[in-house]
Each structure stands twice: as structure tokens, then as C-alpha cells.
Amino acid sequence: MKLYVIILSLAFVQFSFAQEASNNPKSKIWSLEDCITYALENNITVKEASLNTSISEVDYNKSKSSRLPNLFGSATQSFSNGNTIDPITSAYVTEQINSTNVGINSSVTLFQGNQITNQIKQNKLLLEQSVFQEEVEKNNIVLNLLETYLQTLFSKESISIAQNNLAASEQEVQRAKARLDAGSIPLTDYTEAQSQVATNKYNVIAAKNTYQQYLITLKQLLELPLTEDLEIETINENMDLINLDLNKTAIYSNALNFMPEMSVSMLNIAANEKELDIAKGAYLPTLSLTGSLGSGYTSISDNSFSDQFDFNFNQKIGLSLSIPIFNRNQTKAAVKTASINIEKAQIQKQNTEKDIYKKVETAYQNALSSQEQVIASEASKIAAEQSYKLAQKKYELGDLSTTDLVISQNTYTNAQQNYLQSKYLNILYHQLLQFYQGNTIKL
């Protein structure tokens, strides 16, 4: 029986660890889609934008409630001595008085220059604007993730290039040592080969450090602990080149319809126009309906507390009209400020359009340029690789100096890095064009 319990306990513990591992982010390889989904749920910038939307919703509901009547209760207990006026009977007396006064007051605004209605409409516009601003922040996170993800992959592949170069240079040192011992090369050739090994070791360390820095940036976007292990998924090497027939004008038009920045700008204009209506409403009178219920007790009366409360019970209802005549030009200044803010909002909309156009134009031109760079850098890499292999064979036969071999290796390394960079830039700009057309980013 004890053995059976132990077996069950061990099985339960093993199952728990398995469940924990399956739920732990570091137990999987992260694709770009995984990163985007996780970041949109956990990134603090997105959360902050969501909270701003919630605040705008609260303000909108608050403005709708301003149409409702208010209700206040009051209670006063007072003591007076000497010549005074009784607060209940209003009689002039010269004696000590204890009095109690209770009441309920309410008022509702019937008309206020349409300011309440316009305030509700403005807050509704601001709520819609907050929703689109939240989309702006989400898009920024997606684009930052895309760029950081590709930079991380680039730096990871750079480590492999650096390590391969180090391994090759270490073999060359061994060949140089053998040739030095045989007396076929001078000592300077051998030390130059050693120097190349030291340089390549430094390049490996630098590449690894760069990779770790990009991982840190990626973890911060994902809001993962810096101590968390993170491994990202490599992408398909079969890249489609950018379609040269893409219509740049069509991409820009799609971006204007798709990008939430445009909706934010247009809603900003509409909200400022409502602010102008609210300011103009201060020129008009305000009409309010008021009402109250109350009663009280005074010690100078011979009646009991309850009898006085019944006898003194009163009800009041009335209309209050406030007509603005002169308020030191405050309304005039508010109207002028609102008009200026409308012009500023229209200028901001134009700047938003220019900014979107610049982004589309830059992505389009860079996409075409990077496509040509991929083709050129790939041809350069192939040629440099063949040249380096030929140089190695010549070096083994003693027909090439160590200096020339190092130069050939460095040329091949630079060609590899150029191809790697152009490859990931081509992917980045291709994805940006997809994004500006409203398509999903997916590697």
C-alpha cells in the first residue's frame, strides 16, 4: 500500500513539472507570431494605452450622468444665547436656543447653452480616439518586435560566421606553424596568422554580446524577466523578392485608410470642434430646476420634537435662471482658444499624412534597394568564397603569403556579412510594405 502511494505521488509530481514546463514561456521556441501575441497581451505600453481608454470611457459615462439631477441631504444642530433670531420660527428672542434643522435638496440643469450635450459628444469622440490610439501603440509594438526579431536573427547568424572564421584561422595557424618549423615562411607570417586568430576570437565575443543585447531588447518588449531563457525561431530561407510592379500610390492610399493615426487625427479635429461649441455655449443663459424638503425643531417652542417636525415640514420648488452679462472676457478667450486648437488639429492631421507618406516612401525605396543588394551581395559572397577556397589551396602549396590569405578571408567575411544584412533588410522592408497595405505581418 505504501509503495502504491509513493508511485502515485511521484507520478503526480512528474505530471506537475510537465504542466509547468508546458506553461513556461522558456520551454518553447518563440516565433514572431508568438512574440506579437504575447506582447500585445503583456507589454506595459499597450496596457497603459488600454488604461487610458478605460479612463476615457469613465469620462464619457460621467458626462452622460451630468444630465441627471443631484440630491444632497443636510442636518444642522445649533446653540445660541442672547439676542438672536430663531432659525426655525424666525422670531427675535433673547434667550438660549437649541435648534435642529434637516433637509434634502435637489437641482437639475434644464438648459446650459447645449454645453452638456456637446460635452457628452466630445467625450464620446475622445473615447473613440483613445481606442484608435491604443491601436497605434499596438502597431508600434508589432513593428518594434519585427525589427528587433530580425536583428536578433541577424546577430545570431553573425555568430556562426564569426565562429567558422575562427575555426578556419585556427587551422591556418597550424599550417603556418608547420611551415615555420619547416623553414618555408618567416616568423612574421606565423605571428600574423596568430593575430588573425586573436581578431576572430574578438569578433566571436562581440557577435555573442550583440546577440545578447538584442535578446534583452526582445525580452523587454515581451515583458519577460531578463533571467528568462529565450530562443527564437529561424525563418524560411526561401525569400520572395519584392514585386517591382507594386503601386506606391496604392500602398499610400491603403495606409491612409488603414493606419489608426489618421483616425486619431480626424477625431482630434472633431473633438476640438466640439470644444468650440462648448465654449460658445457659455454665451447663453443657464436654466435650472431646484427643489427641497425640510423641517426643524426649536427649544423655545412648547411642542414636542416630533410635533414640531410635522408642523415645520416644508417643500420648495423653483426655477433658477442665470444670464451671462460680463465675465471679464473669459468666454471670448475660450472661444478664441478653441478656434486656434482646431487649426492646430488640422495641421497635425497634415503632419500625420506627411509622416505616413514618408514611411511608405522610405519602405518602398528601401525594399527595391535591398532587393538589388540581395542579388549583388549574394553574387559577391559566392565569388569571395571561391576566391578564399582558392587562396587556402595556394597557401597550403606555399604559393600564397599569410597576409594575402588573411586579406582573402576578411574579404569573404565582409561579403558574408553584407549578404546577411541585405537579406534581413529585404525581409524587413517587404514586411513593412505588407503592413502598410493592412496585411498581417508573418514570417
pLDDT at 27: 55
pLDDT of residue 9: 42
Residue 70 pLDDT: 96
Predicted pLDDT at 8: 41
Q: Determine the pLDDT at residue 340.
A: 98
How confident is the model at residue 82, as a pLDDT?
73
Q: Which pLDDT does position 6 carry in this prediction?
A: 38
Q: Which domains does the chain have, with CATH numbers?
A: 113-284+327-436 (1.20.1600.10)
For position 333, what pLDDT does the model report? 97
What is the per-residue pLDDT for 240? 55
Q: Is residue 162 within 8 Å of 412, Cβ to Cβ?
A: no
Q: For position 18, what pLDDT does the model report?
A: 43
Per-residue model confidence as pLDDT tens digits over 104-158: 999 999 999 999 999 999 999 999 999 999 999 999 999 999 999 999 999 999 9
Q: What is the pLDDT of residue 81?
A: 82
Residue with cell 462648448: 278
Three-state secondary structure readout of the chain: CHHHHHHHHHHHHHHHHHHHHHHCHHHCCECHHHHHHHHHHHCHHHHHHHHHHHHHHHHHHHHHHCCCCEEEEEEEEEEECCEEECCCCCCEEECCEEEEEEEEEEEEEEEECCHHHHHHHHHHHHHHHHHHHHHHHHHHHHHHHHHHHHHHHHHHHHHHHHHHHHHHHHHHHHHHHHHHHCCCCCHHHHHHHHHHHHHHHHHHHHHHHHHHHHHHHHHHHHCCCCCCCCCECCCCCCCCCCCCCCCHHHHHHHHHHHCHHHHHHHHHHHHHHHHHHHHHHCCCCEEEEEEEEEEEEECCCCCCHHHHHHHCCEEEEEEEEECCCCCCCHHHHHHHHHHHHHHHHHHHHHHHHHHHHHHHHHHHHHHHHHHHHHHHHHHHHHHHHHHHHHHHHHHHHCCCCHHHHHHHHHHHHHHHHHHHHHHHHHHHHHHHHHHHCCCCCCC
Q: What are the residue ranges in the chain where pLDDT is below 50?
A: 1-26
Q: Is the dihedral of CA 369, 372, 375, 377 positive or negative?
A: negative
pTM of the model: 0.85
